[in-house]
Amino acid sequence: MTQASLLSVEDLRTYCYTRAGVVKAVDGVSFALERGDSLGLVGESGSGKSMTCNSILRLLPRPAARTVGGRVLWEGRDLLTLPEREMRRVRGREIGMILQDPLMSLNPVFTIGNQVGEPFRLRGAAKGRSDLREKVLDVLRQVHIPSPEARLSQYPFEFSGGMRQRTVAAIALAGSPGLLIADEPTTSLDVTIQDQFLRLLRELQEKTGMALILVTHDLGIVAETCNKVAVMYAGKIVEFGDVRQVLTSPSHPYTEALLKALPVPGTRQRRLYQIPGEPPNLLDPPAGCAFEPRCHRAMQACRNARPPIKKLSDGRQAACLALEAREVR
């Protein structure tokens, strides 16, 4: 990974300290993003995708969770060692964030205009009331809120789910961030509204060159929105690469199984391919590869140690011993 990357996450480790023991929620995650990139971070619940994002922004639930190792290089600075005062300038201004439930991220007792204006006020970016109003109207227009003038004095409850999520996006965009982290931004939205929102994200990216990390469990959303994808399992990235490559010819057995388990619309197969078992208990993970107990390619060697992520001959990265064995041959 070159120093020139916009964001470079190196061997990030975030552990959760619970009464029952230590959970390695993020266990050595590395990836790099360039300007304009959009990375899909996919995985099942508990795979560590949200924890990875929260670690980057240092928004972990403390003291239960702590980042214990690694580096997060943002434009050359390590965010993990930045003083909190400076970190506050990064959040919202340089890196924006959108969370899953838009209603939870909006304050019910303040007007939309007030909340969208807050990032401008905090930065002192507006010269007077009328300038602030113009700036707020401008970002609301960017996210396609219809008749924004009339909407300024309304409250979140008067907005539909889709409009609320677009308002949250407007707040995140108010600081013109170089990177937007969106954690399952469309899970609570209907498909047609989801489609509108994902198109909006792509449009904004094209306009501003902003990079995007999109956390989702839906490979369909990744295919439509992202150019890179990282598949996470039990706290580690098991496959990373170009979306086209990974989704059309997955190399890690987990990615392969995930794609095979999806129903293909229009073809009514009697049975779906099913991945046996359930994700491992992270309090007591398997000694070897975390996917080994469910893997159809598992070998004896897989039980001994977790395989490191390695670059394959076609440029992507995967963490699988069976794969390495095939590559060597």
Q: Is 273 in the site for another protein (CB under 8 A)?
A: yes
Q: Is 148 in the site for another protein (CB under 8 A)?
A: no
Shortest approach of another protein to residue 127 CB, angstroms?
Answer: 35
Residue 52's nearest CA partner among 34, 33, 72, 37 is 72
Binding test (CB under 8 A) with another protein, winner from 278, 300, 328, 329: 278
- The window from 29-37, 89-97, 174-182, 221-229 that contacts another protein (CB under 8 A) reads 221-229
Q: How far apart are CA 300 and CA 293, in angstroms?
A: 11
Residue 83 neighbours by CB distance under 10 Å: 7
Shortest approach of another protein to residue 241 CB, angstroms?
Answer: 11
Binding test (CB under 8 A) with another protein, winner from 204, 275, 298, 321: 275
Binding test (CB under 8 A) with another protein, winner from 196, 208, 285, 324: 196
Q: Is 2 in the site for another protein (CB under 8 A)?
A: no
Binding test (CB under 8 A) with another protein, winner from 103, 126, 193, 301: 193
CA distances from 60 to 169, 247, 286 (A): 21, 31, 26
Q: How far apart are CA 229 and CA 246, in angstroms?
A: 7
Q: How far apart are CA 211 and CA 31, in angstroms?
A: 13
Binding test (CB under 8 A) with another protein, winner from 63, 124, 128, 266: 266
Q: Is 249 in the site for another protein (CB under 8 A)?
A: no
Instruction: Select 127 or 271, whichever has its Cβ closest to another protein.
Output: 271
Instruction: Select 125 or 259, whichever has its Cβ closest to another protein.
Output: 259
Show contacts of 185-191: CB within 8 Å, 24+ apart: 185/98, 185/99, 185/100, 185/214, 186/216, 186/221, 187/100, 187/216, 188/100, 188/101, 188/102, 188/161, 189/161, 189/162, 189/165, 190/161, 190/162
Q: How far apart are CA 294 and CA 298, in angstroms?
A: 8
Shortest approach of another protein to residue 11 CB, angstroms?
Answer: 27
Q: Name residues contacting another protein, limited to 29-68 (CB under 8 A).
A: 44-45
The answer to whether residues 260 and 269 touch, using CB atoms and an 8 Å cutoff, is: no
Shortest approach of another protein to residue 195 CB, angstroms?
Answer: 4
DSSP state of 91: B
Q: How far apart are CA 1 and CA 197, in angstroms?
A: 32
Q: Is 248 in the site for another protein (CB under 8 A)?
A: yes
Tokens of 215: 């956390």
Binding test (CB under 8 A) with another protein, winner from 20, 109, 150, 191: 191
Maximum distance among all alpha carbons in the chain?
A: 69
Binding test (CB under 8 A) with another protein, winner from 155, 223, 301, 327: 223
Contacts for 38 with CB less than 8 Å, ≥ 6 apart = 201, 202, 205, 211, 212, 213, 214, 225, 226, 227, 228
Q: Is 244 in the site for another protein (CB under 8 A)?
A: yes
- The window from 20-28, 58-66, 258-266, 298-306 that contacts another protein (CB under 8 A) reads 258-266
Binding site for another protein (CB under 8 A): 44-45, 160-163, 190-196, 198-199, 217-224, 243-244, 247-248, 257-259, 261-275, 278-279, 294
